[in-house]
Structure 1
Amino acid sequence: MLELAILGFLYDAPLHGYELRKRITALTGHVRPVAESTLYPAIKRLEKAGLLERALEPGAGAAPRHVLSLTEAGRDELRRRLAEPDPLDISDENRWFTVLAFLRHLEDRDAQAAVLRRRLDFLEQPASFFYDGDRPLPAEELDDPFRQGILTIARATSRTELTWLRATLGSLGT
């Protein structure tokens, strides 16, 4: 998820590390804050792989800053990751939001629709956070109001997302 966010934000525009960290934190930080000790090793891995490069630019009244930008290989890698997201990118809500944040960079509408269909297929599978053996328990069968709350909120979120997915697939003409 972190590498996808780095590639996605740098696809939008070159950024220095601090600004990149702020943007990633704004996208995912309420759940997973991004520490410098996590961000900068990821940047170095992507740079070593030839997916991004850095250039020195004068700082605003301070020392020069390293500005990061994508190489053409980095742009291709972002599009590949968007077209072929990992199954966890489809099933994990926070990772899914990262995919969605940059899916517009996958310019092929059919490819965008294929990714949305994978999420739709995932959401249409019966699921619960709580089970009686192999049987998913609906909120109505739980006597715990807090677990009922989890299921009620998740159901409302899923319904809203299903409506959005179906409408967006329709607007993509697929």
Structure 2
Amino acid sequence: MLELSILGFLAEEPLHGYELKARIKALSGHVRPVSDGALYPAITRLIKAGKLDEHAEPGASAAPRRILSLTDKGREDLLERLRHPKPVEITDQVRFNTVLSFLRHLPDRREQAEVLHRRLEFLTAPTSFFYEDGRPVRAEETDDLFRQGMLRVARATGEAERAWLTEAIAALDQPS
């Protein structure tokens, strides 16, 4: 997801590493912190793979800033990642939000809708945090106040997301 975030933010505009890190942190750092030890090696891999360009610009002080920009190869990689998210990128909320953050870069509305369909399909399958005899436990079926809270919040969130996904898919299915 780190590489998707790097490619996605650089598809919007060239950035220096510090600004890129700040944007990634704002997107998902509250759940999955991004360290320099993960970010800069990922940037280096993407540069070596020809997906990013790097050049120096004068900094505010004496040190020059490394400015990163997306190459055509990087843009194609971004689009491919958005067209075909991995199953975990559909099922994991934080990872799906990262995909969703950059899905507008995918130019084909049908492809955008297909990604949303995959998420909606996942969200319509019965599930729970807790199971009894292999069956999902609902909030009304537990006496544990705290588990009830978890299950009720998850249900409300799921209902809201399913409603939005349905609306978004319908909008994408309309002629532009």
Q: What CA distance in whole angstroms lies between the structure 1 residues aligned with 2:95 and 2:73? A: 22
- Report the AA paired with residue 50 of structure 1: G
User: In the alignment, does 2:125 pair up with 1:125?
Assistant: yes
Q: What CA distance in whole angstroms lies between the structure 2 residues aligned with 1:42 and 1:145? A: 43
1:77-109 alpha-carbon deviations (Å, 9 max, x no partner): 000000000000000000000000000000100
Equivalence map 1:1-174=2 (5 Å): 1-173=1-173
The list of structure 1 runs, each at least 4 consecutive aligned residues, that deviate by more than 2 angstroms after superposition, is none
Question: 1:33: how far off?
Answer: 1.3
Aligned length: 174
Give TM-score scaled by structure 1 length. 0.98
SS of aligned partner of 2:25: helix
Q: What CA distance in whole angstroms lies between the structure 2 residues aligned with 1:32 and 1:103? A: 20
Question: 1:45: how far off?
Answer: 1.1
Q: What CA distance in whole angstroms lies between the structure 1 residues aligned with 2:133 and 2:13? A: 50
Question: 1:173: how far off?
Answer: 1.5
1:48-101 alpha-carbon deviations (Å, 9 max, x no partner): 111111101110123001001111000000000000000000000000000000
RMSD between aligned residues: 0.8
Give TM-score scaled by structure 2 length. 0.97
What 5-or-longer segments of structure 1 have no aligned partner?
none
Identity %, equivalent residues: 59
What 5-or-longer segments of structure 2 have no aligned partner?
none
Q: What CA distance in whole angstroms lies between the structure 1 residues aligned with 2:84 and 2:46? A: 18
1:112-151 alpha-carbon deviations (Å, 9 max, x no partner): 0000000000000000000002100001111111111111
